[in-house]
């Protein structure tokens, strides 16, 4: 006779691997400004924190994927680097910067320079008083300019100009011809060097800053599955080395939460590359639980109710019921703003008060 082990309730409860997420000795609260920089997954976290009314500045250069670009951008914020026309190139009928996302690109050269420098100034001032910096690294692959990238030429229709020294790392390729670039897999030593140097300058600039590293769970599948994993592994090795070296650095396991805990394609978008809304919500829930203090968690729950109500679309906006809905939430938003003056609920108060 075969004896089967009794299936208890606990047997069915544990469908996920457990993961230890150590909380930092000092947790984040609402009064502490947070800068975020790095890959597109940075903006999932940043947008959520911004919606919850934390004081947030994210990706002043736009989305950045590789450590060389992230490190260079941080140093530029410390130095408050100001860009000129010599830092731009002309391609596809718009002016662009090798160090910035295409959201800064424009047909008007002066406008590009103004927008970039305004973002630099904002980042410099914000980083000076920020209490937290969240860095999300996406890939160890860095794209470097080759001697195939042309030198400065005349500018006109269907012509271009470009600047940049040979082998300079670029943050965005801007759909330039592939032969202009050399794809470089940064070594562990190289990655450690650029990040270590940038952190040294950042900590000198703002001695009170604490840094949280994450590695993006977004699969860079265009590199191939094997090279994507090699790339992520190098990021992991460097990040943990730095966390062990500095007492103000922490690691939040966003990558492991998606890849090892959720570990199912149901938690990815149709491209099977980007985590979907349930996955990013799961990661944010863990972040709030382990990296923010109890007061912040309670306040975030109250803010979220106001924010959700703000998104409510009324089928019959002229009814008395909807007017009561607006009045009730206007009172709640004002009361919450009065109790916590550091919150910015002006948009919600204006909406409910109209």
SS3 content of the chain, % helix, strand, coil (to 5): 50, 15, 35
Question: How would you classify the pairing of strands 88-91 and 141-145?
Answer: unpaired
**pLDDT of the chain, 354 residues: tens digit per residue:** 444 444 444 543 456 677 889 899 999 999 999 999 998 888 888 999 999 999 999 999 999 999 999 999 999 999 999 999 999 999 989 999 999 999 999 999 999 999 999 999 999 999 999 999 999 999 999 999 988 777 644 444 434 445 555 678 899 999 999 899 999 999 999 999 999 999 999 999 999 999 999 999 988 878 888 999 999 999 999 999 999 998 899 999 999 999 988 888 788 888 778 888 888 899 999 999 999 999 999 999 999 999 999 988 888 888 989 889 999 999 999 999 999 999 999 999 999 987
CA distances from 187 to 99, 173, 297 (A): 21, 21, 39
- Give the 3-state secondary structure of residue 141: strand
The number of beta carbons lying within 10 Å of the beta carbon of residue 183 is 11
SS3 210: strand
Asked if residues 23 and 268 have their Cβ atoms less than 8 Å apart, the reply is: no
Give the pair of three-digit tokens for residue 195. 């990040």
204: CB partners within 8 A, 6+ apart: 78
Burial of 66 by CB count in 10 Å (0-12 exposed, 13-18 middle, 19+ buried)? buried
Return the closest-CA partner of residue 204 out of 214, 193, 212, 196.
Answer: 196
Q: Residue 151: which region, alpha, beta or left (left: phi > 0; alpha: psi -120 to 50)?
A: beta
Structural domains of the chain sorted by starting position, each given as residue range(s) with its CATH number in brackets: 32-83+99-153+165-292 (3.40.50.1110), 294-354 (no CATH)
DSSP code per residue over 82-138 = ---GGGEEEETTEEEETTS-GGG-BS-HHHHHHHHHHHHHHHHHHHHH-SEEEEEE-
Q: Are 216 and 136 in contact (CB under 8 A)?
A: yes
Burial 234-246 (b: 16+ CB within 10 A, else e): bbbebbebbbeee
């Amino acid at each position: 006779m075969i004896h089967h082990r009794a299936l208890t309730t606990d047997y069915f409860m544990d469908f996920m691997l457990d993961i230890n997420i150590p909380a930092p000795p000092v947790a984040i609260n609402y009064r502490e400004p947070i800068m975020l920089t790095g890959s597109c997954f940075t903006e999932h976290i940043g947008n959520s924190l911004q919606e919850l009314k934390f004081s947030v500045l994210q990706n002043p250069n736009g989305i950045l994927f590789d450590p060389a670009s992230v490190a260079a951008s941080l140093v530029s914020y410390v130095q408050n680097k100001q860009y000129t026309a010599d830092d731009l190139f002309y391609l596809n009928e718009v002016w662009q910067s090798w160090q910035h996302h295409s959201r800064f690109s424009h047909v008007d050269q002066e406008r590009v320079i103004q927008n970039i420098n305004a973002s630099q100034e904002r980042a410099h001032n914000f980083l000076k008083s920020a209490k937290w910096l969240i860095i999300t690294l996406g890939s160890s692959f860095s794209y470097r300019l080759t001697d195939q990238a042309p030198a400065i030429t005349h500018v006109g229709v269907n012509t271009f100009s470009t600047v940049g020294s040979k082998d300079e790392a670029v943050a965005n390729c801007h759909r330039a011809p592939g032969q202009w670039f050399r794809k470089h897999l940064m070594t562990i030593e190289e990655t450690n060097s650029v990040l270590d140097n940038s952190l040294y300058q950042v900590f000198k600039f703002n001695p009170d800053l604490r840094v949280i590293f994450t590695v993006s769970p977004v699969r860079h599948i265009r590199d191939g599955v094997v090279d994507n994993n090699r790339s992520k592994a190098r990021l992991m090795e460097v990040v943990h080395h730095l966390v062990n070296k500095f007492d103000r650095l922490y690691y939040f396991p966003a990558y492991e939460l998606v890849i090892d805990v959720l570990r199912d394609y149901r938690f990815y978008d149709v491209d099977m590359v980007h985590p979907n809304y349930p996955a990013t919500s799961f990661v944010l829930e863990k972040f709030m639980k382990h990296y923010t203090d109890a007061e912040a968690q309670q306040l975030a729950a109250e803010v979220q109710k106001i924010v959700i109500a703000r998104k409510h679309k009324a089928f019959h906006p002229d009814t008395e019921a909807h007017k009561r809905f607006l009045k009730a939430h206007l009172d709640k938003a004002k009361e919450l703003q009065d109790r916590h003056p550091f919150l910015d609920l002006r948009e919600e108060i204006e909406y409910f008060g109209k």
